[in-house]
Amino acid sequence: MSQTGAAPILEAADVRKVYRTGTQEVEALRGISLAITPGEMVMVMGPSGNGKTTMLNCLSGLDDIDGGTVHVDGDDIHEMSDAARTTHRAERMGFIFQSFNLIPVFSAAENTELPLLVTGVKPKEARDRARAMLDRVGLGNRFDHRPTELSGGEQQRVAIARALVSHPAIVWADEPTGNLDSQTAEAVLALLHEVHDEGQTLVIVTHDRGIGATGTRLVEVRDGRITYDGSPHAADLGAR
Amino acid sequence: MFIALRDLRFARGRFALMGAVVALVALLMVLLTGLATGLADDNVSAIADLPATHLAFSAESGVKFNQSTVTADQWQALRSVPGVADAAPVGNSLFNGHVYADHAQADKARTEVLANGKATSADTAGAPAVDLALFGVEPGSFVAPVQTAGERLAAGSDGVVVSDDLARKKGVKVGDVLVLDRVGLELPVVGITRKANFGHVPVVFAPLQVWQKATFGSTRAVATFVAVRADDAFVPATADQAQRLTTVTRTAAFDGSPGYKEETGTLVMIEGFLYVIAGMLVAAFFTVWTIQRTAEIGLLKALGARTGYVVRDAIGQAAIVLVGATALGLGLGLGLGAAMPGNAPFALKPVPVLGAGALLVVMGLLGSAVSIRRIAKIDPLIALTGGNAGAR
């Protein structure tokens, strides 16, 4: 369901995902349908183990699906070959992880330029863009610092810079503040709002009701289904 | 190579250790290759350097230098076989002897040998003892040695041309006299030829009749084998059938030298094991390395790196370690080889050494390919499902 009336970037229809362990089957997604339009900041909430992260993985193309379709800019990403989907992911998706997932042997600039280098951007251009993006997230003086020389908040800012550096259509963030203290989490959330205000589309999985309330749209996932999709202000977050 | 180079810098201790192992294997490979080449030279260089395409042995003995006897009828018949440009008899026997600069002392020693079976120690004082392979050839034939000093072999003379090895190691020079033990033949040294060895001893070329006299005590018209110079029209099987011969190519005849097959077989087996061990070492190292990098590789894939990109990076990394370490090992090996004592059976030739180095790199890359399968299987999801690229 589009919330703004603009043409959606992503359209998921009846997406199903089943995990199989031996003879056991767990239906993680039971028919997810969702459309995301440019400029949205979609907060995905729900109890643990109910399919939020699985939905993120399947809609972003990180994981395969067992039924349904996911179109990004009109292309069905699950009909693509692995290689094509990887390239598509590199060009159109950005990811922010709870545990930052920075490569420890790389400096902040090297970590940030990584998505550009793996897709063939020339090193000089990649470095210039990485530096500009680190400037943008407030780490202009930390280019050459390795992750171990940065605070948790700074590491997540590097991760945000890395997610944004290729100008993706959608940035997916899985519990981006989950490993941060409340003050740092607030600063990181403020940064995410800033980039959203600049027009970036974001999908953020979070447990935090306070964060969930700050998006332009709230999607609640329970038992592999979307049980709420609408304004975060209309939702009774306290009861969810 | 962006990631590979940074990993090399970051984990330089681990890569240096792996590189040191590969360098040591390369060093050992150079030494083995040198030893194999040296032993082969020491064993069959006189045969390898014969300007012949084929060697014909008697059918009864097969390809055995120490058992074959061919007759004058056989080598003369071979000359008229289609495709044969020339055929020349070669006699071959191992002897011991002493080399004398003083001709009177040589005469005395010879007399003693003929009278009592051996020379006294007083007779041989100051005369170096030599082990030698006496090669009997017809002077002027295409297998006659080309002298680098002195004169060539002459028909009707007892004069011999000796391998340069004898000159260098025993100080033999033109004008000296060689007296064969037991036989008591006195052979004046008239020339020196380039290094020629057979059965790990230097070769002394003598006129065929001198060889016959030394071997049989009389000039029977026989030789050990026939050296054949032939073109593609030559069909050895036809000649073999007609003349009761066993004809093989010159290189195939090496196996007929006593111990050659066993020596080369042993060294080839050791080299083979080394290549396999090197491949397995590299495979083990890069497999463990890949396991350690699982989270990082998953992250790279999640960020959009294709499997091919990550694989190319990993192969590039392995290639840098292997080529660098192999070059270091080869360099050390060449240095050590140059310092080898002159009498050691050791010879370094560019092709076998470079071939060994290239094969080592190839085996290492094949070993590293084991880890590539693992790289291909790493799921980008690992970046989300608790994969912490920092955990190394």
pLDDT at B283 (0 to 100): 86
Last residue of a domain, one of B217, B249, B281: B249
Q: Is the pLDDT of residue A70 over 50?
A: yes
Query: Long-range contact list for B149-157, CB < 8 A, 24+ apart?
Result: B149/B174, B149/B191, B149/B192, B150/B174, B150/B189, B150/B190, B150/B191, B150/B192, B151/B190, B151/B191, B152/B190, B152/B191, B153/B190, B153/B191, B153/B205, B153/B206, B153/B207, B154/B190, B154/B207, B155/B207, B156/B207, B157/B190, B157/B207
The C-alpha of B315 sits at a distance from chain A's nearest C-alpha, in angstroms, of: 16
Residue of A101, A117, A156 to mutate for B, most B C-beta atoms under 10 A: A101
Nearest CA in chain B to A91: B304
| pLDDT grade for A5, boundaries at 50, 70 and 90 | low
**How many folded domains does chain B comprise?**
2
How many residue pairs bridge chain A and chain B with CB atoms within 8 Å of each other?
A: 78
Give per-residue burial for A177-198: e unless 16+ CB within 10 Å, then b: bbbbeeebbebbbebbeebbee
Q: What are the helix (H) ranges across chain B?
A: 2-10, 12-48, 72-78, 103-116, 121-124, 164-170, 208-216, 236-243, 260-292, 294-302, 307-338, 350-377
- Whether B254 maps to a domain, the answer reads no
Residue A126 pLDDT > 80, yes or no? Answer: yes
Q: Give percent of chain A with pLDDT exceeding 90.
A: 69
User: Closest Cα of chain B to A151: distance in Å?
Assistant: 14
| Interatomic CA distance for residues B35 and B45, integer angstroms | 14
pLDDT category of residue B375 using cuts at 50, 70 and 90 = confident
Helix (H) or strand (E) holding A157: helix A152-164
Asked if A91 is an interface residue toward chain B (Cβ–Cβ < 8 A), one would say yes
Which whole number is the average pLDDT over B292-297? Answer: 86
Range of the domain at B139: 51-249
Residue A4 confidence (pLDDT): 54
Give CA–CA dist B317/B310, Å, rounded.
11
- Of B249, B280, B308, the residue that ends a domain is B249
Please report which confidence band the pLDDT of residue B78 belongs to, taking 50, 70 and 90 as the band edges.
Answer: very high
Give the model's pLDDT for residue B385. Answer: 61
How much is the mean pLDDT over chain A?
Answer: 90
pLDDT of B328-364, one tens digit each?
Answer: 999 999 999 888 887 778 888 888 889 889 988 998 8
Residue B162: inside a domain, yes or no?
yes
Choose the final residue of a domain: B226, B249, B272.
Answer: B249
Residue A234: per-residue pLDDT: 66
Residue B61, classified by CB atoms within 10 Å of its CB into exposed (0-12), middle (13-18) or buried (19+), is middle
Q: Is the minimum CB–CB distance between B392 and chain A shorter than 8 Å?
A: yes
* Digit-coded pLDDT (tens) for B188-211: 999 999 999 999 999 999 999 999
Mean pLDDT, rounded, of chain B: 89
Tell whether B232 and B118 lie within a shared domain.
yes
Domain check: are B15 and B60 in the same one? no
Fold classification of A10-239 is: Rossmann fold (3.40.50)
Name the percent of chain A in helix, strand, coil, to the closest 5: 35, 25, 40
Confidence category of residue A225, pLDDT binned at 50, 70, 90: very high
Do A62 and B380 lie within an 8 Å CB cutoff? yes
Asked if the model's pLDDT at residue A224 lies above 60, the reply is yes
Mean pLDDT of B169-175: 93
Using an 8 Å CB-CB cutoff, list chain B residues near A101.
Answer: 295, 299, 383, 387-390
Whole-number pLDDT of residue A6: 79
The CA distance from A63 to the nearest CA of chain B, in Å, is 7
Asked whether the beta carbons of residue A118 and residue B295 sit closer than 8 angstroms, the reply is no
Q: Is residue B255 part of a domain?
A: no
**What average pLDDT does this structure show over A132-161?**
93
For residue B389, what pLDDT is reported? 40
